[in-house]
Chain A
């Protein structure tokens, strides 16, 4: 369960103040897969970072699994797995296995737990062949798989993914989507941001649209289709922006 209450985030750099999030309110319940939709600079990464306890809100508060992100960050960190987009957040000079072992160690996993988790993930993602090679020589798809494996190595209840399929080919994207399905079946709570409407349509129960730091829509996908009389998320998004509607 993730509750974001009236969150505002301002960045101040060189006298200029940027409001990345403007009174954002939303909720994701347990076992729900929520999509975060928005243009470049809308505030998606900032929102995910605040939920992940990496940033503190300027105003408002966030609770994850009943813990406050400000006061109980440590408890939240154990329950949460995060993958931020762009670079994949792996160490090039270490092998895939060493990367996974390192993060498992950071989460305080025992040697046995680590081995079981890595073997399991290696099979799941078909990484067995290259897990002992250094990340530096991996293709983008291989890296992304290891990165996702790293995100879930400690079996978190809540998973935040920031544009996880950016730069992946169709096969890799499909592997990823299947993985999300699987996680969903296990009852994990997932938020992932994306530019790709189809992906959100395919995977998410609910959607949240943000534009320039403000929530444009938050709620059930099916309900949205009914309201807008359309199943084209792209179209819905654009028309909502055009009308300047906020919930």
Chain B
């Protein structure tokens, strides 16, 4: 009986063009945009060239100090030129760079620019490091002319080593560990919402609910069939999102795809992802169902669900800066957050069975709670009969 009712709900939902559009098309569009956004963040700034405003032209020797990326252009007022956007940064000396070779002791170089702009700060960093390098050269020259070893100025050599799990693809993995769970959660919610709002609030509006409740089928069965159908729409949407994301990353990106390198746990990851997506879809399905039961109309359901749409994105705020080794058990015990935590771990190639079980367990527990709540509400006529 439940199976037949489920089949009818699925037919009904799949014939709804709006549903299909929302469950398939919109997430694909959104995630394609995000794939390219994250990819662009990872592309190193190598071929860019920047215009630097200077008060007077540099001579040949002076320009040799600087990288080819920097193009120097003369402006009568270099700072104003930067303000006007004609140059990324300005470089002003109170003397001549060459003068340092010829006995001048000191020179002040002012670098002017907007360090909050990505391009300007890249230009300023380049200027600074070029000048630093030149400064060291001169210091070394001067010291050696006085027979002093240049290492006296550098008594401590600092070596920074990365966390062993952070291989060359750490940046790609970090980007993906935010992006992938967000996409999964959002697309599940987007996929389930139209079905959920239609199956309770919609049936109330169209008064099919009364006809349905007049049949001798128990309300528990009605609820179960609808819940499974809503969750199925979420699962479909979630899988499409993941599949499209992975395909786009593999074939259309250069840097994001590095995240999948050196990961020898792919089968386990796929298995865990299937369980995770399904459980999460069941959870979001139950929550959306509660909302739809309470709401009087499809429109009301949609406005009540806006917070549900934001919820899956929230963990980004406090998880993106947490390292994979800092993921404590609390992260895996918090619903929604654990989706992010588990995916991050798996992307790093870590398969931690207790973490997985805790994640599945807490999500499952939330499913049961949401389901019980929806059942209590669905048994009350107040929520399900239109006036």
Contacts and interface: CB of A to CB of B under 8 A. Distances in A.
A77 B212 CA distance: 11
Given A54-B213, A107-B215, A90 B381 contact: no
Interface in B289-323: none
Interface string B360-387: 0000000000000000000001000100
Majority SS of interface residues in chain A? loop
B212 A87 contact: no
A145 to B, nearest CB: 15
Contacts of B207: 84, 86-89
Interface stretch (A29-37, A91-99, A182-190, A222-230): A91-99
B217 to A, nearest CB: 5
Interface string B200-234: 00000111101111111100000000000000000
A52 interface: yes
B277 to A, nearest CB: 26
Interface residues of A, number: 31
B385 A108 contact: no
A143 to B, nearest CB: 11
A231 interface: no
Contacts of B5: 105-106
A55 B208 contact: no
Interface stretch (B9-17, B37-45, B73-81): B9-17
B167 interface: no
State which size class the interface on B falls in: 20 to 34
B216 A106 contact: yes
Contacts of A86: 207
Contact of B15 (A52, A82, A89, A93): A93
B135 interface: no
A110 to B, nearest CB: 12
Nearest to A74: B216
A237 interface: no
Nearest to A105: B4
B8 interface: yes
A63 interface: no
Contacts of B210: 49, 54, 82, 84, 89
Nearest to B210: A84
Given A54-B381, A55-B385, A103-B211, A78 B216 contact: yes
A125 interface: no
Interface in A31-90: 49, 52-56, 74, 77-78, 80-82, 84, 86-90
A55 B384 CA distance: 11
B11 A94 contact: yes
Nearest to B205: A87
A91 B9 CA distance: 10
Contacts of A87: 205-208
30 contacts: A54-B210, A54-B213, A54-B214, A54-B381, A54-B385, A55-B385, A77-B214, A78-B216, A82-B210, A84-B210, A86-B207, A87-B206, A89-B206, A89-B211, A90-B206, A90-B208, A92-B206, A94-B8, A94-B11, A94-B12, A94-B15, A105-B1, A106-B5, A106-B212, A106-B215, A106-B216, A106-B217, A107-B216, A108-B1, A134-B15
Given A54-B210, A94-B11, A108-B216, 10 more contacts: A52-B214, A54-B213, A77-B216, A82-B214, A84-B207, A91-B206, A103-B215, A105-B5, A106-B217, A108-B1
